[in-house]
């Protein structure tokens, strides 16, 4: 199973049933998985390479030695970014260890190595090539020597980076370069007496950043453990992402004691058992009424068929002493209660309430309305039920109505409501708690009774956005911005309040525009709204009076339309900021600023290729032999003039091209993700490969396509490799023939054979230009002689 990019799903998990057996299916969950469960190696997953080993006690045991690659994956190869986790320990007490995993097409000499050691050896080492070529390590040693540690290797082929983690000791090392290929279990422990055990290993896809995962509506049933449970979630952040975060918050639902930590900092601490409601219940309620003081006439409006329409009940109740419900009504009658004024929600919130009903099933209903639309209803005999509705930012009226149909009564013919609550569902955090790299949010959940403990948490962040506002007027400010009475109705107070509001908006990072239309508009006040510095009690420098760049004025309707269009265009493009272009070398530009409409103009004069006598250009076109994989074979006698790939990506983007040969190990030729989100970029049909990276012999090329950097797959079979070679095209002297035509035909045959031997290509040379010089005037020889004619074609 998998999720497409930019999609979501809901997964339900249930805990606490002690009568069932726990079982997992790693093969269905991960890209590759093996827990070495059994008495022998699974030959469908692994192939033995060298050295001796055994499988027992659900573990792989490899015997030590020098530069040994015990096994590698049989068919599975890493083709994109991936996470490899494994559990490993040494099976001896002390000495050189150097065991771990390798990743690569072949083992010794090419594969990357990730090995750990103990003491002052080579802890947390990453090698460019097995063994020890281009190696570097983290000098922090392993905390112990004879226990299992959990290790994680991240192959990030989009940023060309390899990461190596010891999750048990919290050690990390990283090294640049991409990697593809099989997974190898390896050691260089020097002696057969130094063995290594692997408990399990699995591979999953890697994306940066990881997808947002929400834990909502999850009930974790934990019995009386007289202690605590721990939950952790890792997520990775890079510096650009951290810098874009405007504010950070999380949602929390629990009904027991709980502590929540972000990167070791305590961000929430609930010390008592409580009802399962979101964290900020009480003084932070947007709205609450439990009808404990009756039905508040300033809050509620009642109506219906029989006065007093909606009344207080002392029984039944869900909390406190009171609930409310409909008055006694007859057939075809109704009773309702509704908020007198709209409730304003300026942050995403949640509404809870309890209701119950005793009525004729399928005919008499208690209904709930949001903004006069029915969103839920109940009927029949139903006990107290808690409802929850998410309320985005906006204004809401809420209403309940009980209505009877034309005949028949059942039950008490009553609907009740109680404990109505609207709360903001976010707990805001200090974003400085985040860090570059691996971040952890951890929960310590207590439970000291036999009741199930419930817990739900979701961490989110909002990225920075540019903000702007527009103030328009055809007159004078004569009242304050907020709700006010008295002196604030005077013009002078209203003017000062409007100017101060403009300053307050700028203090919040909001750009303020103002427009005066008509001759009666207060020009000076509107200019100050846009360009006054209240702290200095003076104009913003350079924006004095008529120089205020965000103030506009006109009495002409057509001109006003143009003004509004111009302001709208500026607001829409606020995120497009000016950049400075850095130029290297002995070049100086007077204006090196880049804007959203900046472009580069290329003037290109092609340098002619120099061909020596007998050399020619041969262009070869090959289809990909398998999805996303092709090889370019360069003979030693040739020179590559040009090489390119034509990519048929269909509904996807051509996203990544990687070259591997004897001199370049997984060199990234093209990586679309470096330039931003794919939707804003063009999809290249032709990708050029710089000829300087192509080596003699085999050059393996990998082509990836995808919808984004975290959703990639191998390219199409319909893609092509097109390259041109400079080939030597001359042959030496041949045999003696009776006619020049025979000699010419022999030379052509020998040339075709030579070209085939060099390039493997069958070509026709019939169109090759040849010059023949005929030599005349040779006298008759008196005796039988052999004459060999030597000529040179220029």
Tens digits of residue pLDDT in 214-248 = 444 333 344 444 445 667 777 778 776 787 777 78
pLDDT digits (tens, 9 = 90+) for 48-89: 999 999 999 889 999 999 999 999 999 999 988 899 999 999
220-224, 355-359, 737-741: which range is least confident on average? 220-224
pLDDT digits (tens, 9 = 90+) for 84-129: 999 999 998 878 899 999 999 887 878 999 999 986 678 999 999 9
Beta strands in 239-320 (DSSP E): 245-254, 258-262, 265-270, 277-278, 285-289, 300-304, 310-313
- Same fold: 227-280+427-463 with 285-424: yes
pLDDT given for residue 519 in this prediction: 87
* CATH code of the region 467-572: 3.40.50.410
Confidence of residue 523 (pLDDT cuts 50, 70, 90): very high
Q: What is the arithmetic mean of pLDDT over 472-495?
A: 68
Its pTM stands at 0.35
Residue 202: CA count within 13 A, CB half-sphere: 14
Judge: domain 285-424, CATH 2.60.120.200. yes
Beta strands in 263-393 (DSSP E): 265-270, 277-278, 285-289, 300-304, 310-313, 323-326, 334-339, 343-345, 349-358, 365-370, 373-379, 381-391
In which region does residue 786 sit, left (phi positive, over 0), alpha (psi from -120 to 50) or beta (all else)?
beta
Q: 26-205 has which fold?
A: Jelly Rolls (2.60.120)
Q: What is the arithmetic mean of pLDDT over 565-586?
A: 61
Q: How far apart are CA 225 and CA 32, in angstroms?
A: 35
Q: What is the arithmetic mean of pLDDT over 567-572?
A: 76
Q: 615-728 has which fold?
A: Jelly Rolls (2.60.120)
User: Contact at 8 Å (CB) between 162 and 154?
Assistant: yes
User: Contact at 8 Å (CB) between 630 and 659?
Assistant: no
For the cut 60, the answer to whether the pLDDT of residue 258 exceeds it is yes
pLDDT given for residue 222 in this prediction: 40
Q: How far apart are CA 756 and CA 760, in angstroms?
A: 5
pLDDT given for residue 567 in this prediction: 87
pLDDT digits (tens, 9 = 90+) for 134-192: 898 888 888 888 889 999 999 988 778 899 999 888 889 999 888 889 999 999 998 88
Q: How far apart are CA 714 and CA 717, in angstroms?
A: 9
From the list 193, 199, 200, 202, the residue with the least C-alpha distance to 97 is: 193
For the cut 60, the answer to whether the pLDDT of residue 582 exceeds it is no
> Where are the domains positioned within the chain?
26-205, 227-280+427-463, 285-424, 467-572, 615-728
Q: What is the arithmetic mean of pLDDT over 540-560?
A: 90
Quote the percentage of the chain above a pLDDT of 90.
33
Confidence of residue 552 (pLDDT cuts 50, 70, 90): very high
Q: What is the arithmetic mean of pLDDT over 547-557?
A: 91
Query: Looking at per-residue confidence, does 681 or 432 come out higher?
Result: 432
Q: What is the arithmetic mean of pLDDT over 675-680?
A: 64
pLDDT given for residue 217 in this prediction: 37
Query: Looking at per-residue confidence, does 450 or 179 come out higher?
Result: 179
Judge: domain 227-280+427-463, CATH 2.60.120.260. yes
pLDDT digits (tens, 9 = 90+) for 303-338: 999 999 999 999 999 888 999 999 999 999 999 999
pLDDT given for residue 197 in this prediction: 96
């Amino acid at each position: 199973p998998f999720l497409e990019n930019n999609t979501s799903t809901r997964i339900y998990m249930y805990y606490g049933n002690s009568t069932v057996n726990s079982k997992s299916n790693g093969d269905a969950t991960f890209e590759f998985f093996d827990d070495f469960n059994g008495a022998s190696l699974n030959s469908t997953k692994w192939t033995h390479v060298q050295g001796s080993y055994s499988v027992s006690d659900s573990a792989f045991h490899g015997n030590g030695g020098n530069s040994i690659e015990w096994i590698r994956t049989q068919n599975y190869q890493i083709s994109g970014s991936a996470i490899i986790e494994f559990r490993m320990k040494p099976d001896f007490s002390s000495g050189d260890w150097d065991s771990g995993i390798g990743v690569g097409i072949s083992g010794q000499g090419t594969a990357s190595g990730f090995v750990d050691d103990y003491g002052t050896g080579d802890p947390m080492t990453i090698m460019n090539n097995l063994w020890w070529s281009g190696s570097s390590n983290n000098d922090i040693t392993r905390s112990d020597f004879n226990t299992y540690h959990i290790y994680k290797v991240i192959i990030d082929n989009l940023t060309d980076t390899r990461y190596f983690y010891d999750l048990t000791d919290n050690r990390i090392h990283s090294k640049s370069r991409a990697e593809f290929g099989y997974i190898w279990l390896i050691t260089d422990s020097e002696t057969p007496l130094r063995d290594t055990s692997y408990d399990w290993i699995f591979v999953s896809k890697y994306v940066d950043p990881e997808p947002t995962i929400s834990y909502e509506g999850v009930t974790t049933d934990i019995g009386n453990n007289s202690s605590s449970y721990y939950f952790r979630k890792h997520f990775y952040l890079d510096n650009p992402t951290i810098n874009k975060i405007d504010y950070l918050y999380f949602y929390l639902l629990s009904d027991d004691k709980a502590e929540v930590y972000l990167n070791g900092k305590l961000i929430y601490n609930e010390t008592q058992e409580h009802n399962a409601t979101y964290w900020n219940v009480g003084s932070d309620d947007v709205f609450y009424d439990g009808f404990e003081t009756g039905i508040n006439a300033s809050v509620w409006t009642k109506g219906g068929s029989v006065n007093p329409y909606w009344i207080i009940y002392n029984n039944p109740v869900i909390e406190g002493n009171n609930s409310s419900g409909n008055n006694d009504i007859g057939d075809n009658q109704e009773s309702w209660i509704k908020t007198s004024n709209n409730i304003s929600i300026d942050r995403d919130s949640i509404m809870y309430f309890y209701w119950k009903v005793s009525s004729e099933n399928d005919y008499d209903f208690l209904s709930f309305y949001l903004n006069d639309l029915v969103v839920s209803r109940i009927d029949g005999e139903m006990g107290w039920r808690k409802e929850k509705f998410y309320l985005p930012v906006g204004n809401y009226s809420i209403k309940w109505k009980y209505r009877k149909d034309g005949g028949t009564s059942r039950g008490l013919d009553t609907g009740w409501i109680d404990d109505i609550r609207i709360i903001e569902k976010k707990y805001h955090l200090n974003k400085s708690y985040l860090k570059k790299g691996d971040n952890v949010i951890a929960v310590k959940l207590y439970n000291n009774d036999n009741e199930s403990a419930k817990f739900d948490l979701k961490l989110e962040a909002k990225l920075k956005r540019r903000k702007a506002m527009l103030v328009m007027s055809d007159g004078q400010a004569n009242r304050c911005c907020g709700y006010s009475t008295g002196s604030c109705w005077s013009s002078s107070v209203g003017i000062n309040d409007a100017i101060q509001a403009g300053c307050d908006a700028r203090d919040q990072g909001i750009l303020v525009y103002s427009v005066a239309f008509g001759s009666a508009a207060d020009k000076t006040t509107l200019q100050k709204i846009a360009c006054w510095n209240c702290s200095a009690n003076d104009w913003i420098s350079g924006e004095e009076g008529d120089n205020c760049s965000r103030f506009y004025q006109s009495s002409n309707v057509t001109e006003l339309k143009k003004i509004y269009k111009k302001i709208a265009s500026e607001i829409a493009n606020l995120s497009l900021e000016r950049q400075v272009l850095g130029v290297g070398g002995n070049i100086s530009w007077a204006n090196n600023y880049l804007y959203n409409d900046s472009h580069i103009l290329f003037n290109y004069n092609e340098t002619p290729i120099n061909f020596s006598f007998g050399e020619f250009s041969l262009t070869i076109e090959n289809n990909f032999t398998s999805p996303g994989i092709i090889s370019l074979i360069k003979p030693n006698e040739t020179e590559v003039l040009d090489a390119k790939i034509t990519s048929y990506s269909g509904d996807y983007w051509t996203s990544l091209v990687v070259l591997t040969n004897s001199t370049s190990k997984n060199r990234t030729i093209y990586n679309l993700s470096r330039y931003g989100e794919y939707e804003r970029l063009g999809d290249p049909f032709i990708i050029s490969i710089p000829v300087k990276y192509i080596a003699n012999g085999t050059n393996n090329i990998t082509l990836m396509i995808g919808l984004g950097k975290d959703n990639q797959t191998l390219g199409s079979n319909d893609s092509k490799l097109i390259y041109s070679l400079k080939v030597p095209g001359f042959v030496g002297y041949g045999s003696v023939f009776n006619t020049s035509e025979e000699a010419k035909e022999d030379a052509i045959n020998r040339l075709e054979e030579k070209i085939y031997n060099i390039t493997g290509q069958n070509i026709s040379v019939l169109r090759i230009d040849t010059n023949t010089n005929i030599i005349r005037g040779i006298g008759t020889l008196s005796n039988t002689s052999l004459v060999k004619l030597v000529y040179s074609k220029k």
